[in-house]
Amino acid sequence: MGMISEFREFIARGNVIDLAVAVVIGAAFGKIVTALVDGIIMPLVGGLTGGASVSDWKYVLTPASVDAAGTEVAEVAVAYGAFIQTVIDFLIIAFVIFLVLKGYNRLKKKEEAAEEAPAEPAEEIVLLREIRDALKK
């Protein structure tokens, strides 16, 4: 019964719930960025580079052929275009996360500055000051 109660306590913490929400939002955001890259950015890049889709870019090591027995041999190629497209996806997601964290940190600094009011001196300090002022008179 101890493990079940520990697990229940672990799940009840706010951090786990926040993490679950972040994962779901992150997955949805990843789909949005993928749609942006696949539907808008890559066609523009492909148009600028000759009309081929970036994800179709590849370096063919061995072209497809038919061997002596009549069996079709598939081509061997390095598909670097798909890699480039994935890197662009990553860079866009990383940039947006950077912007979100930058805004969050800016708000956090404003909150901390508002909370950092000058602290009241300790009671001993106040008493020592009163004694000092009384001795001066």
Got the DSSP string for 47-95?
HHTTS--GGG--EEEE--EE-TTSPEEPPEEE-HHHHHHHHHHHHHHHH
pLDDT per residue over 84-105, tens digit each? Answer: 888 888 888 888 888 888 988 8
pLDDT value at residue 117: 64
Q: Band of the pLDDT at 50, cuts 50, 70, 90?
A: confident
Contact 42/36 with Cβ under 8 angstroms? no
pLDDT per residue over 7-43, tens digit each? Answer: 877 777 767 777 888 888 888 888 888 888 888 888 8
pTM attached to this predicted model: 0.57
3-state SS assignment for residue 1? coil
Domains and CATH numbers, the chain: 2-136 (1.10.1200.120)
pLDDT per residue over 104-123, tens digit each? Answer: 889 888 887 777 766 777 88
